[in-house]
Homo-oligomer: A and B are copies of this chain.
Amino acid sequence: MKKINNQTYLLENPVYIHETASIVGPKEKDGPMANYFDTLLEDEFWGEKSWEKAESKIVKETVNSLISKTNLSSKDIDFCFAGDLLNQCIASNFAYRDSNIPFIGLFGACSTFIESMIVASSFIDGNFAQNAICSASSHFCSAEKQFRFPLELGNQRPPSSQWTVTGCGAALLSKNNIGPIIKSFTPGKIIDMGIKDVNNMGAAMAGAAKDTLITHLKDLNRKPSYYDAIFTGDLGYIGKDLLIDLCLDEGYNIKNNYNDCGVLIFDKETQDTHSGGSGCGCIATVFSGYIYKQLQEKKYKKVLMIATGALMNSTSSQQGESIPGIAHAISIEI
C-alpha cells in the first residue's frame, strides 16, 4: 500500500497538473484575484435564461478552454471527475453531456475540487488514466435560491455568512511531464462539530480542516513550515481564525504561511461579502487562477491545498440536524 501511517498516500508515479482554466462572475471580476482568471463575466446569466443553465455553461466553457490550452483533444482524456453544489449536481452533468468522455460524478460540497484531484491522482498513478479532467463549480444566484432565500427578497445576510463564488475551475491531471506534481494526498473523514448555524459554515468546517491538516502533517512527520504555503477553501475569515487557533491548541503554528481561498477572492473592505467567499467554485478558481500561476513561476515550490465541505442540505437543517464537515488535502511540489 502507498499509505503512510494513518491516512496519507504518497504517489509512486508522478501526477502532473498539466494545465488549469477558470471562468468567474462579475463579483469575482471586481475582486483582488481578477487578473489571474482566464475569463471574467459581465453578468450572472451569460446569455442563458436561468442561473442553473448559466452555471452549466460556465463549467462547459471552462472545460473547453482547458482542453484547448493543452493541445490535447477530448479523445486523449480518459476520465472527467466533476461535481458542484446544485441538487443532483446538474451543473456538471449538463456541462459534460456533449463531452464524449467517461464521467465520474462526485459530491463533496465545497471539498469537491480537491476530492476530484485525489480520485484522478489515484486513477493516474494506478495506470487507469493518462489524462483526466477535474472540475468544480458554484454560482452565487443558483446557490442562494437553492439553499437560502429567493434573491428577490433582498434578505439581510448575517456577518458570519459567506458569499458563494460564481465560477468554475478545472485542471488537467496527466502523466505527461509538464507542470507541478501532486506528491501526496490525505482524504478526509466526516467530522461533526455540532454546529447548526447555516450562516456560519466556516465554524462547521474548521474541525474537519484541522483533522485533515494535522493528520497529514503527523503522517508525513512534517511541520507546517515544510510548505511555502497552506491554503484552505473555503473557511472564510471566521473559519480561518478558528483553524489557526485549533492548530495552535495542538502545537502547530500555521499563522505564517496559511491563508484561505475564501479570504483571498474578495476584498473585505469594499465588496461586502462578510466572512468571505465560499462554494465549490472558490478553491477551484483560486487554485486554477492564482495558486497554479504561483507554482508555475516558482514563487511557491511546496503547497498544501485543503478543501473543506459542509455536508448538509436545507431539509437536514430544517429537521434540526447539525452540519458535518469534511476536508480533503493534496500536496503539490514543483
Interface residues of chain A, those whose CB is within 8 Å of chain B, are 1-3, 7, 9, 12, 49-50, 52-53, 78-79, 83, 85-90, 93-94, 96-109, 115, 118-119, 122-123, 125-130, 146, 187-192, 311-316, 319, 321, 324, 326
Q: Could you tell me if B93 and A311 are in contact, using CB atoms closer than 8 angstroms?
A: yes
Q: Closest residue to A309 on the B side, CB-wise?
A: B105
CA separation between A125 and B127, bound complex, in Å?
9
Q: Which of B108, B119, B321 contacts A94 (CB 8 A)?
A: B321
Q: Could you tell me if B79 and A187 are in contact, using CB atoms closer than 8 angstroms?
A: yes
Q: Could you tell me if A109 and B126 are in contact, using CB atoms closer than 8 angstroms?
A: no
CA separation between A180 and B39, bound complex, in Å?
50
Q: Which of B3, B52, B97, B109 contacts A78 (CB 8 A)?
A: B3
Q: Could you tell me if A2 and B86 are in contact, using CB atoms closer than 8 angstroms?
A: no
Task: Assess A88 versus B90: contact at CB under 8 Å? Given A1-B128, A79-B187, A119-B119.
Answer: no
Q: Which of B100, B107, B326 contacts A189 (CB 8 A)?
A: B100
Q: Closest residue to A105 on the B side, CB-wise?
A: B107
Q: Could you tell me if B125 and A88 are in contact, using CB atoms closer than 8 angstroms?
A: no
Q: Could you tell me if B128 and A93 are in contact, using CB atoms closer than 8 angstroms?
A: no
Q: Could you tell me if B93 and A324 are in contact, using CB atoms closer than 8 angstroms?
A: yes
Contacts of A126 in B (CB 8 A): 2, 122-123, 125-128
The interface centre, meaning the residue of A7, A98, A146, A326 with most chain B CB atoms within 10 A of its CB, is A326
Q: Could you tell me if A190 and B103 are in contact, using CB atoms closer than 8 angstroms?
A: yes
Q: Could you tell me if A106 and B103 are in contact, using CB atoms closer than 8 angstroms?
A: no
CA separation between A284 and B100, bound complex, in Å?
27
Q: Could you tell me if B313 and A86 are in contact, using CB atoms closer than 8 angstroms?
A: yes
Contacts of A85 in B (CB 8 A): 88
Q: Closest residue to A212 on the B side, CB-wise?
A: B102
The interface centre, meaning the residue of A2, A9, A87 with most chain B CB atoms within 10 A of its CB, is A87
CB distance from A151 to the nearest CB of B (A): 15
Q: Could you tell me if B3 and A52 are in contact, using CB atoms closer than 8 angstroms?
A: no
Contacts of A98 in B (CB 8 A): 192
A-B contact pairs, 9 of them (CB 8 A): A1-B78, A2-B128, A86-B315, A88-B107, A97-B191, A97-B192, A102-B189, A106-B107, A122-B126
CA separation between A58 and B142, bound complex, in Å?
31
Contacts of A123 in B (CB 8 A): 122, 126
CB distance from A185 to the nearest CB of B (A): 9
